[in-house]
Amino acid sequence: EVSVTSMTTREVLATRVTEALNNLFPDEESPDPQLTAATRPEFGDYQSNAALSLAKKKKMNPLQVAEEIAKHTKTDDICEQPQVAPPGFVNFTLKKEYVALLLQKMLADPQRLGIAPREKKQRVLVDFSSPNIAKEMHVGHLRSTIIGDCICRVLEFLGHDVLRINHVGDWGTQFGMLIAYLKQVKPDALIGSTTTSLGDLVEFYKAAKKKFDEDSEFQETARREVVALQAGDESSVRAWSFLCEQSRKEFQQIYDMLDVKLTERGESFYNEWLGEVCKELEDSGVAVRDEGALCIFVGGHTGRQGKAQPLIVRKSDGGFNYATTDMAAIRYRVKEDKADRILYITDAGQALHFSQVFEAAKRMGYAKPETKLEHVPFGLVQSEGGKKFKTRQGETVKLKDLLQEAVRRAEEDFRNRLQAEGREESEEYIKRVAHVIGIGAVKYADLKNNRTSNYQFSYTKMLSLQGNTAPYMLYAFARIQGIYRKGDIDLNQGHQAENVQFILDDPTELSLAKMLLQLEEMLFLLERDLKPNILCDYMFELSQRFNQFYENCPVLKAETVDLRTSRLALCKLTANTLALCLHLLGIPTLERI
Ligand code: ARG
Q: Provide the sign of the torsion angle of the four alpha carbons 202, 204, 207, 208, taken in this order.
A: negative
Ligand 1 site, residue 130, Cβ cutoff 6 A: yes
| CA–CA distance, 404 with 441 (Å, rounded to integer) | 12
| CA–CA distance, 128 with 152 (Å, rounded to integer) | 10
Ligand 1 site, residue 132, Cβ cutoff 6 A: yes
Cβ-in-10-Å burial (0-12, 13-18, 19+) of 183 comes to: middle
Among 37-51, 155-169, 537-551, the least confident range: 37-51
Mean pLDDT of the chain: 93
Tens-place pLDDT, residues 461-482: 999 999 999 999 999 999 999 9
Name which residue sits closest to atom 7 of ligand 1, judged by CA: 130
Angle between helices 234-258 and 216-230 (to 10 degrees): 90
| CA–CA distance, 96 with 99 (Å, rounded to integer) | 5
Which residues in 58-94 are b (16+ Cβ under 10 Å) and which e?
A: eeeebbebbbbbbebbebeebbbebbbeeebbbbbbb
| CA–CA distance, 44 with 379 (Å, rounded to integer) | 36
For residue 492, what are the contacts with CB-CB under 8 A and spacing of at least 6?
A: 110
Task: Tell me which of 397 and 483 has the higher pLDDT.
Answer: 483
Tens-place pLDDT, residues 98-149: 999 999 999 999 999 999 999 999 999 999 999 999 888 889 999 999 999 9
Angle between helices 507-517 and 561-585 (to 10 degrees): 40
Q: Left, alpha or beta for 394 (phi > 0: left; psi -120 to 50: alpha)?
A: left
CATH 3.30.1360.70 location in the chain: 9-94
Ligand 1 site, residue 325, Cβ cutoff 6 A: no
Does residue 587 have a pLDDT over 70? Answer: yes
In the reported structure, the alpha carbon of residue 537 is separated from the centroid of ligand 1 by a whole-number distance in angstroms of 29
Task: Tell me which of 538 and 301 has the higher pLDDT.
Answer: 538
Q: Please give the helix or strand (H or E) that residue 372 lies within, else none.
A: strand 372-378
Q: What are phi and psi of 47, to 5 degrees?
A: -145, 150
Pairing between strand 35-37 and 455-457?
unpaired
CATH 3.10.20.30 fits 470-585, yes or no: no
Q: What is the pLDDT of residue 1?
A: 47
CATH 3.40.50.620 location in the chain: 266-378
Does residue 5 have a pLDDT over 70? Answer: no
| CA–CA distance, 576 with 75 (Å, rounded to integer) | 30
Q: What is the pLDDT of residue 3?
A: 61
Superfamily of segment(s) 9-94: Arginyl tRNA synthetase N-terminal domain (3.30.1360.70)
In the reported structure, the alpha carbon of residue 131 is separated from the centroid of ligand 1 by a whole-number distance in angstroms of 7
Q: Which atom in ligand 1 lies closest to the alpha carbon of residue 135?
A: 4
In the reported structure, the alpha carbon of residue 156 is separated from the centroid of ligand 1 by a whole-number distance in angstroms of 23
| CA–CA distance, 174 with 132 (Å, rounded to integer) | 11
**Nearest alpha-carbon partner for 402 in 143, 129, 130:** 143
Categorize the per-residue pLDDT at 396 as very low, low, confident or very high, splitting at 50, 70 and 90.
confident
Does residue 96 have a pLDDT over 90? Answer: yes
Q: What is the pLDDT of residue 201?
A: 81
Task: Tell me which of 182 and 5 has the higher pLDDT.
Answer: 182
Are the beta carbons of 353 and 321 closer than 8 angstroms?
A: no
**Nearest alpha-carbon partner for 555 in 580, 578, 539, 572:** 572
For residues 85-92, average pLDDT: 95
Task: Tell me which of 46 and 2 has the higher pLDDT.
Answer: 46
Ligand 1 site, residue 144, Cβ cutoff 6 A: no
| CA–CA distance, 209 with 218 (Å, rounded to integer) | 10
For residue 326, how many C-alpha atoms fall within 13 Å in the half-sphere facing its CB?
24
Task: Tell me which of 22 and 189 has the higher pLDDT.
Answer: 22
Tens-place pLDDT, residues 513-534: 999 999 999 999 999 999 999 9
Tens-place pLDDT, residues 555-565: 999 999 999 99
Percentage of the chain beyond pLDDT 90 is 83
| CA–CA distance, 413 with 227 (Å, rounded to integer) | 54
Tens-place pLDDT, residues 365-381: 999 999 999 999 999 99
Are the beta carbons of 475 and 593 closer than 8 angstroms?
A: yes
Q: What is the pLDDT of residue 377?
A: 98
Q: What is the pLDDT of residue 394?
A: 76
DSSP state of 592: -
Q: At residue 283, what is the residue type?
A: D
Q: What is the pLDDT of residue 63?
A: 95
Among 363-372, 375-384, 438-447, the least confident range: 375-384
In the reported structure, the alpha carbon of residue 168 is separated from the centroid of ligand 1 by a whole-number distance in angstroms of 7
**Across 206-285, where does the E strand assignment appear?**
263-264
Q: Please give the helix or strand (H or E) that residue 486 lies within, else none.
A: helix 470-487
Are the beta carbons of 586 and 259 closer than 8 angstroms?
A: yes
Ligand 1 site, residue 225, Cβ cutoff 6 A: no
Are the beta carbons of 455 and 382 closer than 8 angstroms?
A: yes
Q: Which atom in ligand 1 lies closest to the alpha carbon of residue 141?
A: 4
For residue 152, what are the contacts with CB-CB under 8 A and spacing of at least 6?
A: 126, 128, 162, 164
DSSP state of 375: E
For residues 471-494, average pLDDT: 92
Tens-place pLDDT, residues 17-29: 999 999 999 998 8
| CA–CA distance, 94 with 42 (Å, rounded to integer) | 13
Tens-place pLDDT, residues 400-428: 999 999 999 999 999 999 999 999 999 99
Percentage of the chain beyond pLDDT 70 is 97
In the reported structure, the alpha carbon of residue 354 is separated from the centroid of ligand 1 by a whole-number distance in angstroms of 10
Ligand 1 site, residue 167, Cβ cutoff 6 A: yes
Distance of CA 345 to CAs 144, 158, 168, Å?
A: 6, 19, 13
Tens-place pLDDT, residues 308-341: 789 999 999 888 999 999 999 999 999 999 999 9
CATH 1.10.730.10 location in the chain: 470-585
DSSP letters, 179-217, are HHHHHHH-GGGGGT-SS---S-HHHHHHHHHHHHHH-HH
Q: What is the pLDDT of residue 390?
A: 80
Ligand 1 site, residue 326, Cβ cutoff 6 A: yes
| CA–CA distance, 362 with 244 (Å, rounded to integer) | 32
Q: What is the pLDDT of residue 393?
A: 77
Tens-place pLDDT, residues 248-291: 999 999 999 999 999 999 999 999 999 999 999 999 999 999 99
ipTM of the complex model: 0.99
| CA–CA distance, 372 with 78 (Å, rounded to integer) | 36
Ligand 1 site, residue 344, Cβ cutoff 6 A: yes
Superfamily of segment(s) 266-378: HUPs (3.40.50.620)
Among 198-202, 229-233, 464-468, 544-548, the least confident range: 198-202
